């Protein structure tokens, strides 16, 4: 993967907008554009075209979607978007909508195409298909089909079922394909997308990790000025990279606050205090707030309520740290007005922000923030996916132990206990989690899986037999997953011998656990975390 990283804002005429028509692949399209070293951001199809054009995009991509262009209530698009002089590339539903809007013919013939489908390129030297084999497979998912291209368009590809599987209009700089070039199942899909970006839209591949760091440092300095900031440091990749980036921008104006909320895994507090400070030289303030968080979570079982409580208590602790830092600075010290967070793009999307999507779950740093927040937020990673954050961390010189650390949620083990969070249950889960991490590391699997949440089903018990006696213990769930960015994920196929060692050790060494199960659900339909 190339070093393509977006930032919170882009220079004029350097943005590609991905218009989301409810596609499962909208985020993937944005990622593929970024892999081509071009900045992109997603906007909902409900956004008025005037607002889209006000963003001054250099190109626009229309995503796929589940609707038929003819069904009642299906997303539509103002014809003005095709007449604004901005290059447009339609994919699947976006392709059909372009065809229909501009006077082409889209039919509901009943002939459907799903999955890998042979494509025949009829104009091998075209803008999109230059250098691409005349016969290759693409990923189709449609019921309607385009039978006639709009006036001024040249048909450049077809299938056995669809006479117009791609068309191009170089004069108007409008292009479209019936299939999904963004998915790996489409041969040469990334090449087709890059042909649109570089040849059709005339964009240059200039976004790199170095340019992102430079851009963000400038933005942070402009936002913070001479004021001071604190950063909620969790020890995870996101907050570590955010802290290192802000530290590079404002240096001693930043104080990192590590809140030991009692929900961390074994050894993580010690790792933060030693490794991160040594790597970055940041000022670190450690706050022991375990009792506070446990009291606030007492009796709470609803996962959304847990997240909101944890988010609220984080902020209250930061406010307390803010007062202490101000007091330590004395009367001539600058005020602490800013809070740095490692918020990522998937956090924003899943919390219902960014594209007008539904709230899947409130992330403690997005939907869980209190309304009376006393800080201005600094979120330099808000437009980034996880693997892009890792590349920024590498650019900043952070050690591999931090950059390649498996994702761990800000609410910690509080959302890996299904049921009430208590000190005893946390200790039990910490022991089980430590065993899983030890065995995965010993098997050399740390870099092969995205993460492996270990979940305690605290309100569930099952009958077992241990030491010739009946037991009535809790199940532990292993959730090993593979992913690129946490927007989608598949369960990791761990070797049976590794699973056997993990199960044996947990049931032998962890009290009150007599059963270990593996979650084999992809995302969607399940999320990576259980709560």
**Cα separation of 523 and 483, whole Å?**
9
Four-residue CA torsion sign, 81, 82, 87, 91: positive
Q: Could you tell me how many residues make up the chain?
A: 531
Active site residue 291: no
- Give the N- to C-terminal CA distance of the chain in Å, as an integer: 31
CB 250 within 8 A of CB 338: no
The pairing of beta strand 88-91 with beta strand 174-177 = parallel
Burial label, 449 (beta-carbon count in 10 A; 0-12, 13-18, 19+): middle
CA 461 to centroid of chain Cα atoms: 34
Q: Which of 412, 65, 497, 90 minimizes the C-alpha distance to 232?
A: 412
| Phi, psi of 107, rounded to the nearest 5 degrees | -115, 145
Q: Which of 35, 41, 92, 261 is catalytic?
A: 92
Give the closest residue to 90 by CA, choosing from 112, 118, 69. 69
Q: Is 49 helix (H, G, I), strand (E, B) or coil?
A: helix
141 token code pair: 């998912």
146 given a catalytic annotation: no
Distance separating alpha carbons of residues 215 and 14, to the nearest angstrom: 13
3-state secondary structure of 245: helix
Residues with Cβ within 8 Å of residue 25, at least 6 apart in sequence: 63, 64, 180, 182, 183
- Tokens 């006036």 sit on residue: 151
| Helix, strand or coil, per DSSP, at residue 141 | strand
Alpha helices in 225-300 (DSSP H): 237-250, 268-271, 277-280, 290-297
Q: Residues 438-447, buried b or exposed e (16+ Cβ, 10 A)?
A: ebbeeeebee
Catalytic residue among 35, 41, 168, 182: 182
| Strand order across the 154-158 sheet | 40-44, 16-20, 59-62, 88-91, 174-177, 166-169, 154-158, 113-121, 135-142
Are the CB atoms for 153 and 167 separated by under 8 Å? Answer: yes
Contacts of 394 (CB under 8 A, 6+ apart): 209, 403
Picking from 369, 367, 353, the residue whose alpha carbon sits closest to that of residue 311 is 369
What are residue 158's DSSP bridge partners? Answer: 120
Catalytic residue among 180, 188, 364, 474: 180
Measured distance CA(454)–CA(266) in Å, rounded: 13
- 182 has catalytic annotation: yes
User: Which residues are marked as active site?
Assistant: 92, 180, 182
């Amino acid at each position: 993967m190339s070093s393509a990283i977006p930032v919170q804002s882009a220079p004029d005429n350097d943005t590609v907008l991905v218009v989301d028509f409810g596609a499962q692949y909208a985020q993937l399209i944005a990622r593929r554009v970024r892999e081509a070293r071009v900045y992109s951001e997603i906007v909902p199809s409900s956004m008025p075209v005037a607002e889209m054009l006000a963003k001054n995009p250099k190109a626009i991509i229309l995503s796929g979607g589940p609707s038929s262009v003819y069904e009642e209530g299906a997303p539509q698009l103002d014809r003005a978007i095709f007449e604004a002089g901005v290059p447009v590339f339609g994919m699947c539903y976006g392709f059909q909508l372009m065809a229909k809007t501009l006077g082409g013919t889209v039919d509901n013939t009943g002939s459907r195409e799903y999955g890998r489908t042979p494509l025949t390129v009829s104009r091998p030297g075209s803008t999109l298909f230059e250098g691409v084999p005349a016969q290759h497979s693409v990923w189709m998912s449609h019921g309607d089909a385009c039978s006639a291209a709009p006036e001024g368009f040249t048909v450049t590809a077809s299938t056995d079922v669809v006479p117009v599987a791609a068309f191009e209009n170089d004069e108007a700089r409008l292009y479209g394909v019936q299939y999904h070039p963004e998915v790996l199942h489409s041969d040469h899909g990334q090449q087709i997308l890059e042909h649109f970006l570089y040849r059709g839209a005339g964009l240059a591949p200039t976004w790199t990790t170095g340019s992102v760091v430079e851009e963000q440092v400038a933005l942070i300095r402009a936002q913070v000025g001479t004021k001071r900031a604190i950063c909620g440091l969790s020890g995870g990749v996101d907050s570590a990279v955010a802290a290192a980036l802000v530290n590079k921008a404002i240096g001693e104006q930043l104080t990192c606050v590590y809140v030991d909320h009692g929900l961390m895994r074994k050894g993580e507090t010690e790792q933060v205090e030693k490794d991160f400070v040594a790597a970055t030289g940041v000022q670190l303030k450690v706050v022991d707030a375990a009792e506070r968080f446990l009291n606030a979570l007492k009796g709470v079982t609803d996962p959304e309520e847990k997240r909101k409580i944890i988010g609220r208590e984080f902020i209250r602790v930061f406010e307390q740290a803010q007062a202490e830092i101000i007091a330590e600075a004395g009367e001539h010290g600058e005020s602490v007005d800013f809070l740095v967070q490692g918020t990522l793009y998937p956090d924003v999307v899943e919390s219902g922000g960014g594209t007008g999507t539904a709230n899947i779950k409130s992330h403690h740093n997005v939907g869980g923030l209190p309304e009376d927040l006393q800080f201005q937020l600094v979120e330099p990673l808000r437009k980034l996916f996880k693997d892009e954050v890792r590349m920024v961390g590498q650019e900043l010189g952070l050690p591999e132990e931090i950059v390649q650390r498996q994702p761990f949620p800000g609410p910690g083990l509080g959302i890996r206990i299904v049921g009430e969070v208590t000190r005893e249950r946390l200790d039990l889960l910490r022991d089980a989690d430590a065993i899983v991490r030890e065995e995965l590391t010993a098997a050399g699997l740390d870099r092969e899986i995205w993460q492996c949440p270990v979940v305690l089903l605290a309100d569930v018990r099952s009958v077992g037999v241990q030491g010739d006696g009946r037991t009535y213990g809790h199940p532990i769930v292993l959730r090993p997953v593979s992913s690129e960015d946490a927007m989608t994920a598949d369960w990791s196929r761990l070797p049976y011998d590794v699973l056997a060692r993990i199960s044996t050790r947990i049931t032998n060494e962890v009290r009150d656990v007599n059963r270990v199960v593996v979650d084999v659900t992809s995302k969607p339909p399940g999320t990576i975390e259980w709560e």
